Amino acid sequence: MKALIVGAGGQLGHGLIATAPAGVEIVSCDQDALDITDVARVQAYVEQVAPDVIFNAAAYTAVDKAEGDAERAQAVNGDAVGYLAAAARSVGAKLVHVSTDFVFDGSATSPYAPDAATGPLGVYGSTKLAGEQAAGSDMLVVRTAWLYGPVGANFVRTMLRLMEAHPQVRVVGDQVGCPTYAPALAAALWQLAERGATGVFHFSDGGQASWYDFAVAIQEEALSAGLLEKPVPIVPITTADYPTPARRPAYSVLDCSATYAALDRAPTPWRDNLHIMIEEIQKNG
């Protein structure tokens, strides 16, 4: 199998490269090598590579910035997905596109199934939903949430930096979701692609947490690993205490049962993957 990984410079792109099955030929590109908002360039690039599968790990992920940059967010998160899907069809390839919990409004009280009604609260979620629709039902769309990994900026690294530099840390406690380890998502994407899955799937690690819960766990794991010298108070605050340009879903736990059934395994608890992440930082910085 020959795979094209788009957005290879990000944390998911790195995860896809690191978890690639043996024998797979990988062609990877970042935004400097391929502007996915250029339809002609996308078509030419895909024809040149002639992959069997395209993983789209590229996205406009600056949630707050997107509120004032809707045109660019739509170009990257929405229109470009359609270009990749059309190019994939033209060479007989499958597109694996990654979406987000932000396509939901967060008003649910139980995990969102893949066929649950969508209702984005802002530009980022709306453009990601547009991307899902542009991909088409013959391709694979995998929604995930609260992604973090060894490479790039993410909540775990931000918390470690703040805990090292400040006498206390304030973290939102009334938004609930599930942290997802990027290499775990990447491995699942490979497995779903190999099984020929199409349509919409959900993937996150097992369990649920608030951002406050996640921060507490990060500090506990970091202290145990010696990444932090001493604990600092972590203060739970409300969403109203920390206003942002973009509204966040208050509840965005994804129902991943169909995905894990397709993978024929149980989910890894999010705390277990956080432990792996902290070990990675301890070894590699």
In 3-state terms, what secondary structure has residue 235? strand
Phi, psi (rounded to 5 degrees) for 259: -65, -45
Which residues are registered as beta bridge partners of 176?
A: 210, 251
Give the C-alpha distances (Å, rounded to integers) separating 194 from 21, 100, 190. Answer: 10, 22, 6
Among residues 33, 28, 79, 82, which one has the least CA distance to residue 53?
Answer: 28
Question: What pairing do the DSSP bridges indicate for beta strands 53-56 and 169-172?
Answer: unpaired
Give the C-alpha distances (Å, rounded to integers) separating 251 from 61, 127, 239. Answer: 19, 20, 12
Among residues 247, 258, 44, which one has the least CA distance to residue 29?
Answer: 44
Record the tokens describing residue 255, joined without a space.
């129902």
Strands (E) located in the chain: 2-6, 25-29, 53-56, 94-100, 140-144, 147-148, 169-172, 176-177, 180-181, 199-202, 209-210, 234-237
Tell me whether residue 112 is one of the annotated catalytic residues: no
Candidate list 112, 124, 148, 251, residue with the active-site label = 124
In 3-state terms, what secondary structure has residue 226? coil
Record the tokens describing residue 36, joined without a space.
């996915």
* Type and span of the H or E element at 29: strand 25-29
Q: Which residues are catalytically annotated?
A: 124
